[in-house]
Amino acid sequence: MMVSCPRCGTRYRLPPRSQLGSDPTYRCIRCRHVFAADAAAEAPALEADAAPDEDDDDTFTFEAPPPDDPPEPEETPPPRRAAEAPRKPMKTPARFALRTLIGVTFLYALLSVYLRTHPDAVRAVFGRLPMIGTSLAEKRLDPSTVQLANVRGSYQRVKGDHLVFVIAGTAINNAPVPVRAIQIEGRVIGAEEQHQVVFCGAAPRDVQDLSVREIALLQTLEPPKDWSVAPGEQTSFLVVFVGPPAELREFVAEVVAVQGQARRHAEQI
């Protein structure tokens, strides 16, 4: 099929209509005129046996315009990532401190249980240490091996005209071995309850010539290293309350701890 430009008359050979689409328009390459290929602009069709002159410079061939740009595909969301592996918790100072505290507490609990259930083994190990080894090596005896006798209590006036309450008595060693330390606890009950612990062999026999400060100091002392009570022997004790409670109704004295001679001493004997 042929078509001519209505302005300048330039003729064009058209490709099959199937390649042009519906209602195509054209632009003349000479005069740049835009026109539609309607019936008024179409030139008479050539006969089938009449071939167009291939040397005609005024004849041009239109190529089918490129099809419209295909619509851009819609943006698709990025593919979902595979399930990420769980992140490892970051180590923070607070978490580290908490774990350390839990670990130390657990170890302390285990150590406490062992010390409670194996006192002899622990004492044997620590007994070899200097400074504290001697006291740890001493064998602890049952407090019931020491019997208290002639326990009495009374108010006394001491230096400075202070009124104190004194619990006195005798401690008898019923153990089969010598003891070097006997701790006695005295209690007085009145408007309030008071406790005082002393060592036999360190407390004075009489307090009337002592001041309140001297009495308090003497009751914190331990007996000398060479002090001991042989089996069947006895020693006196004195527990002083420098500020006894008002309305005192009752007093009690009992043995709370007994230590035997150090094991190395016992072996030499």
**Would you state the pLDDT for residue 150?**
92
CA–CA distance, 20 with 12 (Å, rounded to integer): 14
Higher pLDDT, 143 or 43: 143
Q: Is 215 exposed, middle or buried (0-12, 13-18, 19+ CB in 10 A)?
A: buried
**Would you state the pLDDT for residue 152?**
92
**Would you state the pLDDT for residue 88?**
61
Residue 240 pLDDT class (50, 70, 90 cuts):
very high
**Would you state the pLDDT for residue 36?**
77
Nearest alpha carbon to residue 178 among 250, 240, 266: 266
Question: pLDDT per residue over 65-118, tens digit each?
Answer: 444 544 455 556 666 665 555 666 666 888 888 889 999 999 999 888 887 887
Question: pLDDT per residue over 178-200, tens digit each?
Answer: 998 899 999 999 989 999 999 98
Query: Which domains occur in the chain, in start order?
Result: 1-66 (no CATH), 138-268 (2.60.40)
Question: pLDDT per residue over 14-72, tens digit each?
Answer: 776 655 566 777 788 888 888 876 643 444 443 333 344 444 444 455 544 444 544 45
Nearest alpha carbon to residue 43 among 7, 20, 11: 11
CA–CA distance, 155 with 163 (Å, rounded to integer): 7
Mean pLDDT of the chain: 76
